Amino acid sequence: MAQKMIVFIIATGILAYYIYTPIPEEVDQKLKITMLNSLIRTWDHVGQLLEWLGWRHVMHSLRILTDMQNIPALSDENITVTDTIFSGVPVRLYVPTQQTNELKRGIIYIHGGGWCLGSPAMKSYDTVSRNTAKDLNAVIVSTSYRLAPEFHFPTQFDDVYTVVKYFLQDHILAEYSVDPERTGISGDSAGGNLAAAVTQQIAEDAEVRNKPKIQALIYPALQPIDFDTPSYQQNKNMPLLTKSLTVRFWSEYFANDPSLYHAMASNTHMALEFNYLFTFVNWSMYLPENVKQSYTYSEPMFGKAELLQKYPGLMDSRAAPLLVKDSKLKLLPKTYVMTCEYDVLRDDGIMYVMRLRNAGVSVTHYHVKDGLHGALSLNSWPFDLENTKIVEAHYINWLDKNL
């Protein structure tokens, strides 16, 4: 009997560990968030065990969870949905069936997933793209890109850039009845990173005549050189994106190298000779006082230069859009940035807002005070949240007014 009681206590403790997560009082529907976070944590831990045993990469295990959410391209009375290829890259295309005398707006959407997971076929992304196409009578190009750990930077950037350049050609826009002066680029999380990086590159690309009118960045990841911002400290164990998972995503973006992950996790992956880059992400300069709170900026710790010599992408603005001079930011179009209070990526977005405004760019900053990472995509049963409807409505309304 005593042995059974011990086993029961241990099992109960393990279950409580996976289920219990401290969630701020401001966040609604805690039960749904707790259950979803428990699922993600359990799957992540199982994946890490399988990786430790040498059976499969942890991202391959996590990918099972996201692939389970994929749905086919289904058209309805409002939208024709097709899976097709743009210049060698798979995309899911949403074309409104409503006929008008005006040309349509066009948006390229880039999904998140830490450059390792996800696709336009996920139900959450399909829902956002479908709703955006219907509400705006706009053509939505939801693009895929090759994923880590099979592929690393700059492959993901190159795939998205290829799609954007292809779509912005005159004859392609004309084929889909899209106004060349009313196009935009949007994305969330890692997709927000790619959206920001592509928009910067497009602005300077002489081959692209039709420049995007807007960019919309949803809780974007914008820099991999300082993982000690206030939001990383405050939200390191917050659902649904922990600091450790974020760092793992970043490290996998560049390489399958555990030494890189461990250096990034300890914030010692930068070398002293590249300390000038920290001026672009010095949060003590760019975060308002209410965001900095009681956190104190400390000088970065530096490691050896070997990692940066091996993985120069860490310093490449195509991977880290915050690492650019103001002269490049001045070229950018009207911008929308969404951040969430309880998100490790919050301060990346806020710093970009401040730097864009300092460069003279028109920016709308929508801060979700009770939001967690993934606020736009928690729209599918059984983990659909009421707050997601508000977040999506704000995003689509901004697009409607500015595109």
Q: What residues are labeled active site? A: 189, 343, 373
CATH number for the domain harbouring residue 182 = 3.40.50.1820
Claim to verify: residue 147 and residue 10 sit in the same structural domain = no
pLDDT, residue 139, reads 98
Structural domains of the chain, count: 2
**Alpha-carbon distances of 322 from 76, 110, 223, 283, 308, rounded to whole Å:** 40, 18, 6, 12, 17
Claim to verify: residue 13 and residue 95 sit in the same structural domain = no
Claim to verify: residue 115 and residue 208 sit in the same structural domain = yes
Claim to verify: residue 46 and residue 134 sit in the same structural domain = no
State the virtual CA torsion across 35, 192, 344, 364 in degrees, nearest 10. Answer: -110
Claim to verify: residue 120 and residue 188 sit in the same structural domain = yes
Q: Give the integer Cα–Cα distance in Å for 120 and 321.
A: 23
Q: Is residue 274 part of a domain?
A: no
Residue 55 per-residue DSSP state: S
pLDDT, residue 16, reads 53
Q: Give the integer Cα–Cα distance in Å for 192 and 288.
A: 22
**Alpha-carbon distances of 161 from 144, 199, 224, 368, 393, rounded to whole Å:** 11, 9, 21, 29, 28
State whether residue 44 is helix, strand or coil. Answer: helix
pLDDT, residue 9, reads 42
- For the entire predicted model, the pTM comes to 0.94
Claim to verify: residue 101 and residue 17 sit in the same structural domain = no
**Alpha-carbon distances of 291 from 1, 54, 234, 286, 375, rounded to whole Å:** 53, 42, 10, 10, 20
Over the chain (403 residues), the average pLDDT of each successive run of 10 is 49 53 84 88 90 95 95 96 98 93 96 98 98 97 98 98 98 97 98 98 97 98 96 95 97 96 93 91 95 89 85 95 97 98 98 98 97 94 92 98 98
Claim to verify: residue 165 and residue 79 sit in the same structural domain = yes
Q: Give the integer Cα–Cα distance in Å for 133 and 140.
A: 6
pLDDT, residue 195, reads 98
Q: Give the integer Cα–Cα distance in Å for 229 and 113.
A: 21
pLDDT, residue 302, reads 86
Domain housing 208: 75-223+314-402
Give 385's Cβ-side CA count (13 Å radius): 24
Claim to verify: residue 184 and residue 325 sit in the same structural domain = yes
Q: Is residue 36 part of a domain?
A: yes
- Cross-strand partners of 122: 70
Cα-Cα-Cα-Cα dihedral sign, residues 153, 156, 161, 166: positive
Claim to verify: residue 113 and residue 157 sit in the same structural domain = yes
Claim to verify: residue 15 and residue 133 sit in the same structural domain = no
Claim to verify: residue 99 and residue 189 sit in the same structural domain = yes
Q: Give the integer Cα–Cα distance in Å for 157 and 89.
A: 12
Q: Give the integer Cα–Cα distance in Å for 58 and 76.
A: 37
Claim to verify: residue 190 and residue 109 sit in the same structural domain = yes
**Alpha-carbon distances of 17 from 120, 232, 373, rounded to whole Å:** 33, 22, 21
**Tokens of residue 202, six digits:** 């497009």
Q: Is residue 297 part of a domain?
A: no
Question: What's phi and psi for 43, nearest 5 deg?
Answer: -65, -40
**Alpha-carbon distances of 227 from 140, 234, 356, 399, rounded to whole Å:** 33, 11, 21, 31
Residue 300 per-residue DSSP state: P
pLDDT, residue 308, reads 86
Q: Is residue 272 part of a domain?
A: no
SS (H, E, C) 244-268: HHHHHHHHHHHCCCHHHHHHHHCCC
